[in-house]
């Protein structure tokens, strides 16, 4: 098969692909509630007679082509965000485009029979709930044992869906105007920390010495956390911004409880985990210094995205079939986060960026300006990458120490509560 063959198949479906684009953009549903999105996806898979599994992590779908050999996973998000106006939802992160990219690739790979002809497998994971929002709803699902994690990909990882995967491909819209694609970019990782300082209340005028002021512990800790930033170089991207979210007491009562919360963000996993330990030390020792008790709660978010250089090398070649170097951005350091970071911790992973949207991310005015780039050109690049991996065994990239990394991941992503 010529490399052009999948591209010409894609071209034949141009109008259909654009119509899916409109359908999925209109079908904007929040994480773990993407029921209509899921139904539209499975209706097409039924029509094309592609086997799939549905209701994974509530609304997720996994469609598979090929039965053995090198195993590629293509991952696409499904969820939208609530409108700022408060009425309805909007696809203001462009996840509907990813759904359409996955469907376009599925259709072409099914028609050409490329996976079977090359003895490879490709699984398309339509993953729910990438946006890290709506905690009350998601925590309730966790309490009912319907989920283990707050994000779609994390649930799928925990359930073992990626255990036999060799590499992970994905794509996300970027906000660029003057370029078409970005590669080898990073996303930051984050954790939420909550430190509860517990003291003893007393009359603040008559007998402050009988109390232990919890607020003093929180204030001391806030200073320690500010000094902590000096322990990390700028490229580590450590960000923390503690907020006093709760304090008891009135002006004449010594507060016996104060709560300090912060997100910790970093560009790499080692920094994130080290900063988390050092932040715990700040809370613990500031509390001890003032004879207070301290309870620390850690809620893991997402891990930083670190992309696979060999996969991006092949991706780059494929991008340059459709544009010149001036249309390509490389090594962008982004302050955003995504659960694709967790997959990149475990497996060789890429997330290419494509331009063609208008307006800001996570804003009601988000629209798709350039469907040609978002759907057609991006799908051709991704199909070209799949073609290379399937037809040239020497280019294939494999996981390293997956079992060890997975047990580490399970450990890192557990919610923790420590009482000092
Ligand atoms: Zn988003
Ligand atoms: Zn997104």
> How many Å lie between the centroid of ligand 2 and the Cα of residue 125?
15
Q: Does the structure show a pLDDT above 70 at 419?
A: no
> How many Å lie between the centroid of ligand 1 and the Cα of residue 362?
6
Q: What is the pLDDT of residues 135-180, one digit of tens each?
A: 999 999 999 999 999 999 999 999 999 999 999 999 999 999 999 9
Q: Does the structure show a pLDDT above 90 at 420?
A: no
Q: What are the backbone angles phi and psi of residue 372, rounded to the nearest 5°?
A: -60, -50
Average pLDDT, the chain: 96
Q: Quick count: other Cβ atoms within 10 Å of Cβ 313?
A: 13
> How many Å lie between the centroid of ligand 1 and the Cα of residue 81?
8
> How many Å lie between the centroid of ligand 2 and the Cα of residue 311?
21
> How many Å lie between the centroid of ligand 2 and the Cα of residue 129?
10
Q: Quick count: other Cβ atoms within 10 Å of Cβ 85?
A: 8
Q: What is the pLDDT of residues 67-90, one digit of tens each?
A: 999 999 999 999 999 999 889 999
Rounded to an integer, the average pLDDT of 286-296 is: 98
Q: Rounded to an integer, what distance in angstroms lies between the CA atom of residue 105 and that of residue 63?
A: 11
Q: What is the pLDDT of residues 386-416, one digit of tens each?
A: 999 999 999 999 999 999 999 999 999 987 7
Which CATH number applies to 189-301? Answer: 3.30.70.360
Could you write out the DSSP letters of every residue in 17-34? Answer: HHHHHHHHHH----TT--
> How many Å lie between the centroid of ligand 2 and the Cα of residue 185?
14
DSSP 3-state of 60: strand
**Per-domain residue ranges for the chain?**
4-187+303-407, 189-301
> How many Å lie between the centroid of ligand 2 and the Cα of residue 298?
24
Residue found by looking up tokens 């930033």 in the block: 229
> How many Å lie between the centroid of ligand 2 and the Cα of residue 183?
16
> How many Å lie between the centroid of ligand 2 and the Cα of residue 343?
15
Q: Rounded to an integer, what distance in angstroms lies between the CA atom of residue 24 and that of residue 79?
A: 10
Q: Does the structure show a pLDDT above 90 at 50?
A: yes
Evaluate whether 46 touches 140 at the Cβ level (below 8 Å).
no
pLDDT at 368: 97
Rounded to an integer, the average pLDDT of 287-313 is: 97
Q: Which ligand is in closest contact with the Cα of 98?
A: 2
pLDDT category at 33 given cuts 50, 70, 90 is very high
> How many Å lie between the centroid of ligand 1 and the Cα of residue 207?
51
Q: Which ligand is in closest contact with the Cα of 173?
A: 2
pLDDT category at 249 given cuts 50, 70, 90 is confident
> How many Å lie between the centroid of ligand 1 and the Cα of residue 79?
9
Q: Which ligand is in closest contact with the Cα of 361?
A: 1
Q: Does the structure show a pLDDT above 90 at 93?
A: yes
> How many Å lie between the centroid of ligand 2 and the Cα of residue 201?
46
DSSP 3-state of 369: coil
Q: Which ligand is in closest contact with the Cα of 340?
A: 2
Residues whose beta carbons lie less than 5 angstroms from ion ligand 1: 93
pLDDT at 415: 76
Evaluate whether 242 touches 285 at the Cβ level (below 8 Å).
no
Q: What is the pLDDT of residues 326-377, one digit of tens each?
A: 999 999 999 899 999 999 999 999 999 999 999 999 999 999 999 999 999 9
The token pair that represents 120 in the structure block: 């490879």
> How many Å lie between the centroid of ligand 1 and the Cα of residue 358?
15
Determine whether domain 4-187+303-407 maps to CATH 3.40.50.300: no
Q: Does the structure show a pLDDT above 70 at 257?
A: yes
Q: Quick count: other Cβ atoms within 10 Å of Cβ 132?
A: 17
User: What do you get for the CA distance between the two ends of the chain, in Å?
Assistant: 64
Q: Which ligand is in closest contact with the Cα of 95?
A: 2
């Amino acid at each position: 098969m010529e490399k052009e063959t999948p591209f010409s198949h894609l071209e034949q479906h141009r109008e259909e692909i654009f119509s899916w684009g409109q359908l999925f953009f209109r079908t904007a549903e929040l994480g773990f509630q993407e029921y209509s999105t899921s139904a539209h996806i499975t209706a097409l898979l039924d029509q094309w007679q592609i086997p799939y599994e549905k209701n994974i992590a509530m609304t997720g779908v996994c469609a598979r082509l090929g039965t053995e050999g090198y195993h590629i996973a293509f991952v696409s998000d499904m969820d939208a965000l609530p409108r700022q106006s408060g009425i309805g939802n909007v696809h203001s992160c462009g996840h509907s485009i990813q759904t359409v990219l996955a469907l376009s690739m599925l259709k072409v790979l099914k028609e050409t029979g490329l996976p079977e002809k090359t003895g490879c497998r490709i699984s398309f994971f339509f993953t729910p709930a990438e946006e890290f929002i709506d905690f009350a709803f998601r925590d309730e699902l966790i309490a009912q044992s319907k989920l283990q994690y707050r994000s779609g990909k994390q649930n799928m990882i925990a359930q073992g869906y990626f255990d036999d995967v060799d590499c992970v491909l994905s794509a996300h819209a970027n906000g660029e105007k003057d370029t078409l694609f970005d590669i080898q970019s990073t996303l930051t990782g984050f954790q939420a920390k909550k430190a509860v300082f517990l003291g003893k209340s007393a009359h603040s005028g008559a007998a402050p010495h009988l109390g232990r002021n919890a607020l003093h512990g929180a204030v001391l800790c806030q200073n320690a956390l500010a000094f902590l930033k000096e322990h990390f170089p700028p490229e580590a991207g450590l960000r923390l911004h503690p907020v006093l979210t709760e304090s008891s007491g009135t002006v004449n009562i010594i507060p016996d409880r104060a709560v300090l919360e912060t997100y910790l963000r970093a560009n790499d996993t080692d920094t994130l985990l080290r900063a988390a330990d050092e932040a715990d030390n700040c809370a613990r020792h500031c509390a001890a210094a003032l004879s207070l008790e301290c309870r620390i709660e850690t809620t893991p978010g997402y891990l930083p995205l670190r992309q696979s250089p060999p996969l991006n090398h092949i991706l780059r070649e494929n991008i340059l079939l459709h544009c010149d170097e001036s249309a390509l951005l490389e090594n962008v350091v982004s302050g955003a986060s995504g659960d694709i970071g967790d997959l990149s911790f475990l497996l060789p992973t890429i997330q290419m960026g494509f331009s063609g949207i208008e307006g800001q991310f996570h804003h009601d005015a988000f629209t798709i300006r350039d469907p040609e780039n978002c759907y057609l050109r991006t799908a051709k690049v991704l199909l070209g990458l799949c073609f290379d991996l399937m037809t040239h065994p020497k280019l294939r990239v494999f996981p390293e120490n997956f079992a060890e990394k997975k047990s580490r991941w399970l450990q890192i992503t557990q919610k923790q509560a420590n009482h000092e």
